[in-house]
Amino acid sequence: MRNIPLNQAAHCGCIYLHPDPSKGRKYLPQVALQAHATLLSTTSRTVLTQTFINSTPDTINEVAYRFPVYDGISVVAFQCRVGDHVLVGDVRTKPQANQDYQAVVSQGQSAAILDQSSRGSDIFQVRLGNVAPHSFVTVDITFIGDLQTDAQTDGIRYTLPNAIAPRYGNMTVAEIPSFHDRPIERQDLTITVDVSMEKASVIREVQSPSHPVRVALGRISSDPETSDFAPHHASASLRLDQESPLLEKDFVLIIKADETDAPRALLESHPTIPNQQALMVTLVPKFHLPPARPEVVFLVDRSGSMSDKVATTRSVLRVFLKSLPVGIAFNICSFGTDHAFLWPRSQVYDATSLQEALALVEKMDSNMGGTNMTKAVEAVVRNRLENQDLKVLILTDGAIKNQEQLFNFARTTAADNTARFFSLGIGSTVSHTLIHGIARAGNGIAQSVLLYEQLDRTVVRMLKGALSPHIYDYTLQLQYDDADDDFEIVNHEPEVEAEIETLPEPKPIPTDDQPSKPIPLFDPSFQEPEEDPIDTMPSPPSILPPKLIQVPHKFPTLYPFIRSTIYLLLDSPRTPQSLTIRATSKNGPLELHVPIEPVGPGLTIHQLTARKAIRELEGGHGWLFDAPSNQSALSIQECQRLGQKFQIPGRHCSFMALEGENKVQELPILVKDSHFSFRGIRHRMAVGSSAPAPPPPILRHYNKMELYRTNPKDPHSLPHNPKGCNPKRAYLDAPSQWPLGV
């Protein structure tokens, strides 16, 4: 069997190696695509279903399918159907998953494995083994995430990515087959987004800056048109017929609703693991501090891929430059293969320097070659003014090959709290992992703008964040009851409880001060021992994780009007009642008190928290690196523990799907009433004891290029809900338990 070099598959879709080497890689035609997203407060859950067909007369040994996910997304369920075979996935360690996959495929059976791509954590890949001739392949993937604030509208922004940003490496354009030009016989593409806010939160507007969508306020897609108007509900849908091009850019939806910026703390209990809780704290800070006067450097991507984004980049820079306060030091550094500064050193902002900077902006073009971003960032830091804080604002459209090198440099530079890094992604193909990774490592802000969006408020808000004074010494304190002394402080550098096995101390080697008798090279009395006395390598060190894990491990920097989210995993029988966040600035202390809302049993917050904790460990930081040892084996072990416990794939864990191995069981869960008006018993599908269930099979039957659903005449109809549960909420109940009592 020939393994497909997955690291060469640059576009989303199913590809395979043709038996004739001269024909290279081929695509399986995609015949259907459906996406159904549910937005609940500030979280999202998306079920993506794609159907492909093997139109050849031969069995394909292995098919590779790649797809992009937005930064911070957690894949929580995976199921595929190959012909008549239904494969349901559960998370295993990556070595075990690969071993099981190869064993099954070598026997001619169908199997599938879902991995995180080695080329970026925003790319997942599925390998499908033994696809029969003329059979259909349907891939169902469920992923969850927390929603970002749209700085332009102060709304909530949902993004469904359509393509993978090109990585700058040794790959040439000729090595990447065209994704949109291949002939495709397909059904309609449909995207449906249902929005459910709190009862007190009235939805004012739903819009898409990327696509023309059909919007219904007051109801979700499964509600009949005659249902009562619910001001906290809305639905948006997009349909592309056979004559329309495939989704050529990211699908973006923006929701404006009342009170979405209010601080909230939601506590979720795990449905099967005793004493396991997860806390999600979201807030949009609103405070005023006098602006700082740091050095500001704009780092502008002028590589070849920016050709269609030059006009937008110029517009962004004009807004940035005209919004700077008089007297501040600033500079512009353009980069591509090499980099160049506008001035050797930053200049004071006045009428003369502004005109020089604007003149450079008008002459900017995408004529500087590749994308050596890391070297340009390093040059900006070397060139900084002494005894002055530095703010670096990066404008880019693509991605780079070695992102971790840049993240580590930004993290190290920002560690002393004198430099911060901000990133603005331009266009629909930007790597969100890159721009958000820079902001996380550099204690800054990440935003993105499309080429056709209004951007003035987004740009000004980022600049205000860059000019805001530094806040430091963050602490988060949990209160458990009314007693003043019953609390727990969560520091950004908590004391870690860890049990670590170490190698035994070696025996001392004799020195001149320790004379010893020479050992004879030939001793007639020496007998060969029955067992080899050579020491073997010990098993990987064992660790005892702390009872409380905070993600991000280092408390995120708070900026006015920019949403921040903090997660906690708690292994404790006690239930916290409220929390207090405190911080310090040069202008005085800051404080916020937030009551904690229990939302009942669920998996969503647990899985979001686990994924973010895994991501930190994969990046070489997080709670584990406060332990007495930071051996890589410990990090891998903890990633595998979290991945298997909460069913989250990553760099060290994979979804492995076999036919008939996982039994699907129904777990009735009592849901507490909350701000949402849905209550009672619901059924949650789960694989094994703790894994989330696969998404419901949206495509019931495929015959003569026609898709049949519960109601073939209704494009928004949903699979039948078993056990007589509320049909309006069936699509929420089947795959996983959601917070907020929905």
Per-residue pLDDT tens digits for 534-590: 444 455 556 678 899 999 998 999 998 888 999 999 999 999 999 999 999 888 899
DSSP-assigned letter for residue 200? T
pLDDT at 363 over 80: yes
Percent of the chain with pLDDT over 70: 73
CB 126 within 8 A of CB 116: no
pLDDT at 483: 55
Is the preceding peptide bond at 735 cis, omega within 30 degrees of 0? no
The Cα–Cα gap between 581 and 587 comes to: 17
Distance CA 596, CA 279 (A): 9
Q: What is the pLDDT of residues 614-656, one digit of tens each?
A: 998 988 888 887 655 556 788 889 999 999 999 999 999 999 9
- Residue 166 confidence class, pLDDT cut points 50, 70, 90: very low
Structure tokens at 327: 């007297």
Question: Domains along the chain?
Answer: 295-468 (3.40.50.410)
pLDDT at 533 > cutoff 70: no
Q: Please give the Cα distance from 409 to 192 (Å, whole number).
A: 40
Work out the pLDDT band at 717, boundaries 50, 70, 90. very low
Most confident of 19-33, 162-176, 595-609, 679-693: 595-609
Gyration radius (Cα) of the chain, Å: 27
189-196 and 30-40 as β-strands: parallel, antiparallel, unpaired? parallel
If you search the block for the tokens 């004074």, which residue do you land on? 469
- Output helix, strand, coil percentages for the chain, rounded to the nearest 5: 20, 35, 45
Contact 541, 634 (CB under 8 A): yes
Report the Cα 141 to chain-centroid distance in Å. Answer: 15
Query: What's the pLDDT score for residue 244?
Result: 62
Question: What is the pLDDT, as a whole number, of residue 279?
Answer: 96
Cα(407)–Cα(522) distance, integer angstroms: 58
Q: Evaluate if residue 453 carries a pLDDT over 80.
A: no
* Least confident interval from 465-474, 484-493, 518-527: 484-493
pLDDT band at 517 (very low <50, low <70, confident <90, very high): low
pLDDT at residue 678, rounded to an integer:
26
**Rounded CA gap, 49 and 136, in Å?**
13
- Looking at residues 31-40, what average pLDDT do you find? 88
Residue 716: both structure tokens together = 């928004």
Q: What is the Cα–Cα distance from 178 to 318, expressed in whole angstroms?
A: 35
Average pLDDT over residues 427-455: 86
Of the ranges 8-22, 302-316, 463-477, which one carries the lowest mean pLDDT score? 8-22
Kindly tell me if the per-residue pLDDT of 189 is higher than 80. Answer: yes
Query: CA dihedral defined by 70, 75, 79, 81, rounded to 10 degrees?
Result: 20
Compute the mean pLDDT over every residue in the chain, rounded to the nearest whole number: 77
Kindly give the residue spans of alpha helices, DSSP state H, lying in 185-339: 310-323
Q: Quick one: pLDDT at residue 296?
A: 97
User: Rounded to 5 degrees, what angle do the CA atoms 321, 323, 329 make?
Assistant: 60
Closest CA to 489 of 545, 417, 568, 563: 568
Confidence check: pLDDT of 721 > 70: no
Q: Please state the rounded mean pLDDT for residues 311-320.
A: 94
Question: Binning pLDDT at 50, 70 and 90, where does residue 498 land?
Answer: very low
**Residue 494 pLDDT > 90, yes or no?**
no
